[in-house]
A and B are shown apart, each in its own frame.
Chain A
Amino acid sequence: MQDTVTTSALLDPSHSSVSTQDKSSTGGHTSSTGPQPSKPSITPVSAKSRNPHPGANFHRMRRIIAEDPEWSLAIVPLLTELCIQHIIRNFQKNPILKQMLPEHQQKVLNHLPPDLPLAVTANLIDNENYWLRCCMQRWPVCHVAHHGGSWKRMFFERHLENLLKHFIPGTTDPAVILDLLPLCRNYVRRVHVDQFLPPVQLPAQLRPGDQSDSGSEGEMEEPTVDHYQLGNLVAGLSHLEELDLVYDVKDCGMNFEWNLFLFTYRDCHSLAAAIKACHTLKIFKLTRSKVDDDKARIIIRSLLDHPVLEELDLSHNLIGDRGARGAAKLLSHSRLRVLNLANNQVRAPGAQSLAHALAHNTNLISLNLRLNCIEDEGGQALAHALQTNKCLTTLHLGGNELSEPTATLLSQVLAINTTLTSINLSCNHIGLDGGKQLLEGMSDNKTLLEFDLRLSDVAQESEYLIGQALYTNREAARQRALNRSHFMSTITANGPENSVG
């Protein structure tokens, strides 16, 4: 410890003594070392490569040649180099970073091992390069774009995700996560967890039991299969914006039990309280978690009048009409922009209540009701709502048992509405006449860019003509966008995945 102190004390005077002859080369030094971080820094080599611009400072060069300082320096490494080496070696015990000059900091960061304890590095190092190395070391595939382009954020988010995934209530120490909290609270913005493990004792006891019995027994012991309670974690993360949860167990293999996939009422209540307390949350996703009407209503009630929530995704659950009614209430009591209720059990009454909320809504941009069963009654109600709505741009009604009456109303909507850009009516029973009516409506529309009518019994001819109309609309939109963003920097396309959704 004393050793390091002395070196750090030595650092400044040595630097100042060296700087007189060193300054000429420092400018080029950082630039030369920047792009090659992996290069082992042996001082003679770096000293040799120190003068990348011989012509830039000719007089000084000549003087140096005349005095010939390079010769001696080539043999003995610089004191700064030695100090940096030492700092790197002892970083875990005595992290010194902020006190150094920028170029030295850079050097230190380039040579720090990526497996340093997070307690040391988390709040000290902001350098993306270091975190990039950390990520690359831990995970073979890294999509930094999913984490806002920040490697540090990605590291912490994935680290937290990993911990949560493998947290087993009762056995794992909760301190593992709570200790991490002060380190990652400033960097984590998105929590994406696709598995929550149940307590381990129950499966162990139940293992000898019959498969057929397990269902009934699981119901009995439901209160004991609670998962990890997110409340503390969510309250601790001050910049949390997205919460993407799946109450699921992966890779259970032959240990399959129905119990494993339960989303208990206690889980639901604690989750609701957590998201209610989190005022920075913008996106909330709870998918494939067997959320039924009651649980959905509990969660939605906690989201009412949330200040910033923009996206709610409850797809692949068991939500029925009551849950849909709750979502409709949420539409008029929040600033929700995206609502996804795909693959639920919403029927006509639920769709009607949603349509009622949609008629006067000015926030919602996207509504997804894929794979529900709203039928013509719900479809007509939605179409009526769209006649007054001036905000919705994307509507997905695929696989909803819709037929001609809905198409008739929708064609009227198409002629009036100028905000809708994408409609999906695939997997319905629109029929030939419905297709013709939709084509009629489409002829008056200039804004719609996507209209999916696959497998909905529409005549090929009308589908083709609609495709033509869409094509002209798309070209016009492209022209508009080009004109509008001509001066803007060219934006790289995100790939085809947007159009898939």
Chain B
Amino acid sequence: MNPPGSLAGLDPNLDEHLSTQILAPSVHSDNPQERIQARRLRIAARLEARRREALGEYLDGKKESEEDQSKSYKQKEESRLKLAKLLLCGTELVTNIQVAIDIREIHRRVEEEEIKRQRIEKLENEVKTSQDKFDEITSKWEEGKQKRIPQELWEMLNTQQLHCAGLLEDKNKLISELQQELKTKDDQYVKDLKKQSDDICLLLERMEEQVKNVMKTFREELYNIELEYLTNRMKKVEDYEKQLNRQRIWDCEEYNTIKIKLEQDVQILEQQLQQRKAIYQLNQEKLEYNLQVLKKRDEESTVIKSQQKRKINRLHDILNNLRSKYAKQIKQFQEENQSLTLDYKRLVLQFKELQKAMRHFALIDDEKFREIWLMNEEEAKDLIARAFDVDRIIHTHHLGLPWTAPDFWFLKNVGPISQQPQKSAMQIVEEMLMHTEKEEAEEAASEPESYLDLPKQISEKTTKKILMLLCDESGFLIESKLLSLLLPLEQNECYLLRLDAIFSFTVASQRWMNALHKPSLLLLGAEHPSAAQVRGLFDGMFEQPSCFLPQALGIESEDDLYKLVNFFLKYRAHRLSSSLQIKSCSQASVEKASMEETSMGSELELAEQTEMEGAKEESLVEGEKEEEEETPPSPWDIHPNDVLKILEAFVMGLKKPRDSRAPPRVQKNVRNNSKDSEYWQALTTVIPSSKQNLWDALYTALEKYHIVLTQRAKLLLENSSLEQQNTELQALLQQYLNSKINSELQVPPTQVLRVPTK
């Protein structure tokens, strides 16, 4: 609390504020440093103000928080107000002089102005009057020049002189007046000077007084404040001393109590120490004993250790043995494994062979089965025929009834009852080719009975032509390997194989394909051994799994084939009808004729067929034929370029229905024997039981009849014997009679004799 600091703090009046404003760096200063400083101060001040706002009024808060300080603060505030008032009053007192002088000066100025104005007026008046007078005098001089009389002149001169003197007197008076004024002014000036010096003296006095006063009051106030602070401090010191004393006493007491407590603790601890020592003794002994025990145990354990070591060695030996054994066994097992794998391979081969054999046997079995079947069937049919014969005979001969042959489905059956498999497309083609070949060979020869029951609507030629086209155009579907193989073959074979490749490359079930192919091969085999060889190769290729190629067209069955051919024709027709309707009219008629020719041929065939199959089908076929007649396509008109498009369209159309048909095909090679028993059963019941009853009845009747007849025969025999005897007798007679002449003998005696026998 040094006096200058407190003084500065206690002098918080307005001047300080002003001075800070002047002294503090200004934002508008020319010095950039100062400007920065000023801005910093401003920012700091703002922050400070904000902080203070947040904290509430800083000084108030201080006042409230420091209750002890409030008294000194009050004193401070009081002193400040007092001093501010003093300073204000003092400055007012001092400046009062200045103000008083100012107003005096103003009054003086006003008066001076007034006086000046009056003086100027007066002077002007004076100038005017004196000018008049002077004019008068000068005019009189003119008059005087005219005067000739000395007396008058003298008189006039006297008056002039008087006038001049008057004028001069006036002027002098004025001058003296002004001088008088000046003098008074001088006096006044001196007075003013004196007064001003007095004023200055007064001012100085007052200032000194003021300074003294201020100093004194400042000192007093400072003294008061210091006193206040001092008393405050004294009070506080006393307080603190009291507190210290209290604290000391309290500490002493606490110290004593703590000391007692600690001493007690020490005693307790000593006791505990004794106890601990005893326990320690005990524990030591125990531990020594334990040590002994442990030593012994250690010895034991060393012994055991050595034993264990030995054991370990032994076990190691065993382990090595076992390992060697294990290795041996592994070797052994490996060998075994090898041998077994070899066995397995062999077995697989065997199995395959077996399968082949099985297949073979299956075929043979089939064949056998078929043969047996046929044999049995033949036998049965014989029997049935006999039965029918018998029945017919019975009916016609014995009963006299007309006999109609019973019509049963199984009667027509030939061979095993399995669903007659559809011929594969290849077979058809093969047959067709063969057929056409034959046709070519024996041109005019009557059409051989076609076992191809199918080219119903389409002539073979047409079909062939289409197929040839197809074959030529879609050669890309055939593997190049195959083409090279096919080269040396003759044309027909070549076509056949090509078509085969095109139609069905890798049908889903190869075996079935094989099964289908084999019979056809058998058919072909005799005539074309080379082709059969190729075929064998071909089959071999099929069997290799690597040859699985994408199905080219997927044409398998004859239905498909005919669909294809039909499709071709229809497509053609469609095209023709749309584009070449008029043009092809005449051609169509010609084609029609040719078609009819061909269809005539087929009609012949059909006629033959109808004999075998019945009237129903005939009508159907004829309907179809009529349809066929309406469509006039010619295979010759199909442009090779169209073939591919047609094929594509066909394949797209065919795909969908085919997919659904795929799965059941797999089961086809398993023969269905469900109907066999039925068949055979049906064969046994060719003759219905009613008929058998009839027959039984008839039999009895006939038996009776037979008996009668036998009797009759006996009788007849007797009769005959009698007759013989008779004849013998007759012969003898005749011989006798006709021994010489036969006729003579015969007629006359016999006639005579016979009539009575009959």
Q: Is the CB of B58 within 8 A of A398?
A: no
Q: Are A493 and B8 neighbours in the complex by a CB distance under 8 Å?
A: yes
- Interface size of B as a range: 35 or more
A394 → chain B closest CB, angstroms: 10
B contact residues around A488 at 8 Å (CB): 20, 24, 41
Contact B12 A491 (CB under 8 A): no
Task: Please state if A455 and B100 are interface contacts (CB–CB under 8 Å).
Answer: yes
Q: With an 8 A cutoff between CB atoms, is A36 at the interface?
A: no
Contact B49 A483 (CB under 8 A): yes
Smallest CB gap from B106: residue in A: A399
A481 CB-CB contact with B under 8 Å: yes
- Residue pair B49, A484 in contact (C-beta under 8 Å): yes
Contact B17 A481 (CB under 8 A): yes
Contact A426 B18 (CB under 8 A): no
A449: chain B residues at CB < 8 Å are 14
In the bound complex, residues from chain B placing their C-beta under 8 Å from that of A373 are: 109
A416 CB to nearest chain B CB (Å): 23
A60 within 8 A of B: no
CB pair A494 B19 closer than 8 Å: yes
Q: For the complex, is B142 an interface residue (Cβ under 8 Å from A)? A: no
CB distance from A260 to the nearest CB of B (A): 17
In the complex the two chains form, is A496's CB within 8 Å of B87's CB?
yes
Query: Quick one: closest A residue to B90, CB to CB?
Result: A496
Q: Which of B5, B14, B19, B91 has the most CB of A within 10 A?
A: B14
For the complex, is B13 an interface residue (Cβ under 8 Å from A)?
Answer: yes
Give Cα A500–Cα B105 distance, bound, in whole angstroms. Answer: 19
Chain B CB within 8 A of A490 CB = yes
A390 at interface (Cβ–Cβ under 8 A)? no
Smallest CB separation, A421 vs chain B (Å): 8
**Residues of chain A with a CB closer than 8 A to B13's CB:** 474, 478, 493
Q: Which residue of B lies closest to A370 (CB)?
A: B102
Asked if A494 and B8 make an inter-chain contact with CB atoms under 8 angstroms apart, the answer reads no
A-side contacts of B19, CB under 8 Å: 491, 493-494, 498
**Among B8, B52, B92, B102, contact of A483 (Cβ-Cβ < 8 Å):** B52
Please tell me if the beta carbons of B9 and A490 are within 8 angstroms of each other in the complex: yes
Chain A residue contacts of B52, Cβ below 8 A: 483, 486
Q: Nearest-CB distance from A446 to chain B (Å)?
A: 15
- Residue-wise interface mask of A (472-495) relative to B, using a CB-CB cutoff of 8 A (1 in contact, 0 not): 001001110111111110111111
- Chain A nearest CB: distance from B456 CB in Å? 122
Q: Across the interface, which residues of A come within 8 angstroms of B102, CB to CB?
A: 370-371, 398-399, 426-427
Per the bound structure, the CA–CA distance linking A493 and B23 in Å amounts to: 11
* Complex alpha-carbon distance, A370 and B106, angstroms: 11
A455 to B92, CA, bound (A): 12
B16, B24, B41, B105 — most chain A CB neighbours (10 Å): B16
A493–B49 CB distance below 8 A: no
Whether a CB of chain A sits under 8 angstroms from the CB of B129 is no
CA gap between A450 and B18 in the complex, in Å: 12
CB closest chain-A residue, reference B80 = A478
CB of B95 within 8 A of CB of A500, answer yes
Does A454 reach chain B (CB closer than 8 Å)? Answer: yes
A17 within 8 Å of B (CB atoms): no
Question: Would A455 and B103 count as touching, CB distance under 8 A?
Answer: yes
Most buried by B among A373, A449, A492: A492
Q: Are A498 and B49 in contact (CB under 8 A)?
A: no
The reply to whether the CB of B99 lies closer than 8 angstroms to some CB of chain A is yes
A492/B17 contact (C-beta < 8 A), A427-B102, A485-B45, A487-B48 known? no
B103 touches A427 (CB 8 A): yes
Contact A478–B15 (Cβ < 8 Å)? no
Q: Are B106 and A371 in contact (CB under 8 A)?
A: yes
Which residue from B8, B45, B105, B210 sits with its C-beta under 8 Å from A491?
Answer: B8
- Whether B15 and A496, one on each chain, are in contact in the complex, defined by CB atoms closer than 8 angstroms, is yes
User: B99–A427 contact, CB under 8 A?
Assistant: yes
Query: What is the bound-complex CA distance between A499 and B95, given in angstroms?
Result: 9
Q: Tell me if A308 counts as interface (CB < 8 A to partner B).
A: yes
Partner of A478, one of B12, B48, B90: B12
Q: In the complex, what residues of A have CB within 8 A of residue B48's CB?
A: 483-484, 486-487
Indicate if B442 sits at the interface (CB-CB under 8 A): no
CA distance A487 to B8 in the complex (A): 14
Contact, CB under 8 Å: B16 / A493: yes
* Interface mask (B47-67 → A, CB under 8 Å = 1, otherwise 0): 011001000001100000000
CB–CB B99/A498 < 8 A: no
A494, B45: Cβ atoms closer than 8 Å: no
In whole angstroms, what is the CA distance A263 to B214 when docked?
Answer: 42
Chain A residue with the shortest CB-CB distance to B45: A484
Nearest B-chain residue to A343, judged by Cβ: B105
Nearest-neighbor residue (CB-CB) of B182 within chain A: A212
Q: Which residue of B lies closest to A486 (CB)?
A: B48
Chain B 658-715 residues near chain A, CB threshold 8 A: none
Residue numbers in B under 8 Å from A494 (CB-CB): 15, 19
| A455, B106: Cα distance in complex, Å | 12
**Are A478's CB and B106's CB within 8 A?**
no
Q: Which of B504-528 contact A (CB under 8 A)?
A: none
The 0/1 profile, CB within 8 Å of B marked 1, for residues 427-460 of chain A is: 1000000000000000000000110101100000
Does B396 sit within 8 A of A, measured CB to CB? no
Q: List 25 A-B contacts (CB under 8 A).
A: A371-B105, A399-B105, A426-B102, A427-B99, A427-B106, A454-B95, A454-B96, A455-B100, A474-B13, A477-B17, A478-B14, A481-B16, A481-B20, A483-B45, A483-B48, A483-B52, A484-B45, A485-B20, A485-B45, A488-B20, A488-B41, A496-B15, A496-B214, A498-B15, A500-B91
Apart from A399-B103, A492-B4, A493-B19, what 11 extra A-B contacts exist at CB < 8 Å? Answer: A308-B30, A426-B99, A454-B99, A478-B13, A483-B48, A483-B49, A490-B9, A494-B15, A496-B91, A496-B210, A500-B94
Interchain residue pairs A-B with the least CB separation, the first 4: A484-B45, A427-B103, A481-B17, A490-B8
Interface positions of A (Cβ within 8 A of B): 308, 370-371, 373, 398-399, 401, 426-427, 449-450, 452, 454-455, 474, 477-479, 481-488, 490-496, 498-500
B residues whose Cβ falls under 8 Å from a Cβ of A: 4-5, 8-9, 11-20, 23-24, 30, 41, 44-45, 48-49, 52, 58-59, 87, 90-92, 94-96, 99-100, 102-103, 105-106, 109, 210, 214
